[in-house]
Amino acid sequence: MTSHLEKVSLEIISAQNRVESDFRQTLVEVAKRLAELKSQTHTAESLEESLEKLDALVDESLLRNYETEKLAGEVEKQIASYKSKMEREVYQRTFDLMLLKRLREKAEIPRLSLFYL
């Protein structure tokens, strides 16, 4: 877990130099919180809960600070064939997750969750 925290911390710090606007401030806050998490002892469950909250903070900031229209169009085309086969809520959740995945890839922001080890 420590190596994961170190790796994502370095990636977040590196990303701070590539972004502007209030998204940069979000990454500064996330890096600060990751440093705090590295210096503390946690159960895997409590650490994962903290990382999920930080991931949500990053996601919200990405959606506020990046143009999503073009990426949304790409995602919609990619999953269009599944739309009629999925319940509306499931389709929307899938769409949202894929859009966030694309935004993170574009901004080169790693997922923080332990599930991405």
pTM, two decimal places:
0.85
Given a cut of 70, whether residue 117 has pLDDT beyond it is: no
Q: What DSSP line would sit under 5-39, residue for residue?
A: HHHHHHHHHHHHTT--HHHHHHHHHHHHHHHHHHT
* Averaged confidence pLDDT in the chain: 92
Domain boundaries, the chain: 2-116
pLDDT per residue over 12-26, tens digit each? 999 998 887 789 999
Given a cut of 70, whether residue 48 has pLDDT beyond it is: yes
